[in-house]
Amino acid sequence: MKWCGVMHPGPSLALAIIACFLQRYFCESRWDKEEGLKPRSETYGYKAFSGEGFVMQCNKPQSTGLCERLYNITASSEEADWSRAEGETNRDRDFLRDDGAVTGRGNALWFSTVTAKDSGKYTCHTGGMVIHFYVEVLERASLGCRDTEENRVTLVLGKGGRIPCPGIKCQTQRSEVTWYKDARPVCEIQEKRTISVVDRYTLLLGTVYVSDATLYFCDYTYEDNGIPWTVRRSVNVSVIPADTTDPPQITYPHGNKEGVELGEPHNLSCQVQFGFQRTFDPVVQWWISSHSNHEGMMKLMEMEAQQVRERSIEEFEFTVTRTAQIPEVTQLHLDSTFTCLAQNSVGNSSVTIRLIRKSAVSRVLVIVCPVVSLLFVAGLGITVHVYWLEISILYRIYLPYKQTPTGQQHISLTHTHTHTHTHTHTHTHTHTHTHTHTHTHTHTHTHTHTQPQDKIRYEENKSQDILIWGFLLPLLPSI
């Protein structure tokens, strides 16, 4: 057959097909492994404003409408490996400064105050993922419109408050605003208190608490050249109490008299409590009025600067102290009156005192009493030291050595003797005589002997005391 003359390709073709199949299989497997080793990469952008606080986490920015935290504060710093690119080189963690301006918290980077030099490309590695962030720090003047909202807001304690998102009116194409209180989203806080977003960008607090004094963040997003950008603004909120409606209250001096000494310097002190006022301008002054002056004119005294001590926000008050100096007290000062005047925008209060001369007896007692007490203690110590032997002898005489019953021994001896004698004689005669004699003798002797072991020692001590007393008895009149 002719067809038998044609070369049969069977074995050679089969080998070639198997070789190509194996080559393709190994090449694709190797390519798949190399692709699998390559971490997934994503790129996002943040826009911040100079002079504000800023934070970004090592994760994609939160999606609008989701109740997610701003960052994971519980994550360890090892879970987010940050680096910053400068030109063609990467600087690993060198941008984390010791002064606290840039720090790592959980899986996030915190900038206490972001500036233009913080602009650049940041990269973080976490969970087999590489995320690149482009951070652009802008100046407020670059918004192209008037940014009337401030990044610092002051709220009044116990009342409602509004926190607007700065610069939101300058961005026409944007998403809804997402609010955060520190790291917590507002949607998480709404379950426990009255808080909501009004006018699409303003945070409304139904009641302001002390804990509301913190840092808030507002986010809105837009896309530019295929990169999703998140504009993150921070608002620093402080809480103050409402302005007081009461005049100041003078807490010192308490009475209307104060003791002084002629010829000595003296300071007059006035302590006043002021309620909180947003515009706080306290006035505390000392005035003197001399009765020798028929016109009754009051003169302002020389005073030290006011000392203001601020208390906590819950107490709503300040304490102001003002001191006036009298270089030398004279009779003119004793004939004058001194008035402390305290004033705020609500009203004023005053206290008037007079100076009285301290009693000479009191001055003598202040000097004499300590001296007499010291002499008495010293004399008592010397007397005890000199007559210590006589004192111990008198003590032993009037409080003699006591016998202790614990050292005594009681020996009880009981002797009982019982003797019974019975005699019976019987004789049978014409006469019958029966004699029965019974003798019973019972003797019981109980002897109790007490032998005090300490009696000898007691007698010896007593004898010694009598001998010593007899020797020193002639000396007692000299004592």
Residue 165 lies in a domain: yes
| Of 240, 267, 289, the domain-final residue | 240
Specify whether 64 is located in the same domain as 193: yes
Proportion of the chain in helix, strand, coil states, percent, rounded to 5: 25, 40, 35
Residue 13 lies in a domain: no
Specify whether 218 is located in the same domain as 305: no
Residue 145 lies in a domain: yes
Rounded CA-CA distance 177/173 in Å is: 12
Q: Which DSSP category does 314 fall into? A: T
| Of 218, 240, 262, the domain-final residue | 240
Rounded CA-CA distance 149/142 in Å is: 15
pLDDT of residue 424: 39
Residue 5 lies in a domain: no
Specify whether 235 is located in the same domain as 213: yes
Residue 430 lies in a domain: no
Specify whether 466 is located in the same domain as 373: no
Report the relative pairing of strands 178-181 and 215-224 from DSSP bridges.
Answer: antiparallel
Residue 23 lies in a domain: no
| Of 399, 425, 452, the domain-final residue | 399
Specify whether 170 is located in the same domain as 204: yes
The verdict on whether omega for the bond into residue 247 sits within 30 degrees of 0, i.e. cis, is: no
Specify whether 43 is located in the same domain as 191: yes
Specify whether 99 is located in the same domain as 153: yes
Specify whether 223 is located in the same domain as 299: no
CATH number of domain containing 222: 2.60.40.10
Residue 32 lies in a domain: no
At 118, list the tokens: 């913080």
pLDDT of residue 67: 80
Q: Tens of pLDDT along the chain (479 residues)?
A: 433 333 444 555 455 545 544 454 444 444 334 444 456 788 899 999 999 999 998 888 876 666 888 887 776 656 678 888 765 444 544 566 666 788 888 788 889 899 999 999 999 887 778 999 999 999 877 776 766 677 899 999 999 999 999 888 777 667 788 899 988 888 888 878 889 888 888 999 999 999 999 999 999 888 888 788 899 999 999 999 999 999 999 999 988 999 999 999 999 999 999 999 988 899 999 999 987 655 568 899 999 999 998 776 666 789 999 999 999 999 999 999 999 999 999 999 999 999 999 875 555 666 778 888 888 888 888 887 777 777 777 777 766 555 444 444 443 433 434 343 434 343 333 333 334 343 444 444 444 444 455 555 555 555 555 555 555 555 455 54
pLDDT of residue 153: 94
Specify whether 200 is located in the same domain as 232: yes
Rounded CA-CA distance 411/388 in Å is: 43
Specify whether 141 is located in the same domain as 264: no
Q: Which range marks the domain in which residue 273 is found?
A: 249-358
Specify whether 190 is located in the same domain as 107: yes
Residue 221 lies in a domain: yes
> In degrees rounded to 5, what are phi and psi of residue 291?
-75, -20
The closest of 408, 371, 400 to 463, measured between CA atoms, is: 400
Specify whether 55 is located in the same domain as 157: yes
- Identify the burial level of 71 via C-beta atoms within 10 angstroms of its C-beta, where 0-12 means exposed, 13-18 middle and 19 or more buried: buried
Q: What is the count of structural domains for the chain?
A: 4
